[in-house]
Amino acid sequence: RVTISGSARSAVFDMADTGNASVELPTSAISAAECLDEPGVASNADSNGMAIASTALTIILSRTITAPAAGYVLVLGTTQFQIGHTTGTSSLYNLGVSDSSTALPPNQDLLTSVISALPTGTYQKVVSPHGLFAVSAGANTFYLLGQKTSAASDNATAFDSQLTLIYFATAYG
């Protein structure tokens, strides 16, 4: 056992103990930058509307997070999706989160629709896609994306959108 004592704090190294109990350091003795395993967050929110008027992907929101080391980013998106609908046409849209501004991962094409039989009007739905992405150290940008899947669909608008990114250094499962 080795104890290093100062006037107000001390550190203990006791190899007879196991796990975390084998080393005791003062509170805040090691910063996140030193161990590179602390979670980190980034977020972007916009209450203005973003028109979804094309079958090409539209960026609703984007946000960059700087990872201190390789790891994982949990991306959480949410939007109040407002669909203008005309009776007799199906209103079909995809929404999702991605690490590319030009493509949705296969599990991220969340279909949002209003069936053709419903009356003409405006329909609102809350859509909350999420995904887990492996990242390298450095800046990583993520997107909340939307698109029409049928050119015959009326335009839609994404309101009150938020994109939240959470960095984790390690996967446990």
Return the bridge partners of 61, or none: 144
Q: How many angstroms separate the CA atoms of 58 and 165, rounded?
A: 19
List, for residues 153-168, the tens digit of each pLDDT value: 888 999 999 999 999 9
At residue 146, the pLDDT reads 96
0.85 exceeded by pTM: no
Which whole-number Å values give the CA distances from 22 to 2, 46, 152, in the listed order? 10, 48, 66
Find where tokens 């006037």 sit. Answer: 7
Asked if the model's pLDDT at residue 38 lies above 80, the reply is no
Which band of pLDDT confidence, cut at 50, 70 and 90, is reported for residue 7?
confident
Percent of the chain with pLDDT over 70: 95
- What values do phi and psi take at 42, rounded to 5? -150, 150
Tell me the mean pLDDT in the region 120-140: 96
What band does 83 get if pLDDT is binned at 50, 70 and 90?
A: very high
Block residue for tokens 């209450």: 47
Name the token pair of 3.
């104890």
Bridge partners of residue 3, in order along the sequence: 12
| Mean of per-residue pLDDT scores for the chain | 90
Tell me how far the alpha carbon of residue 59 is from its chain's centroid: 14
Neighbours of 28 (CB within 10 A): 6
Mean pLDDT of 19-48: 79
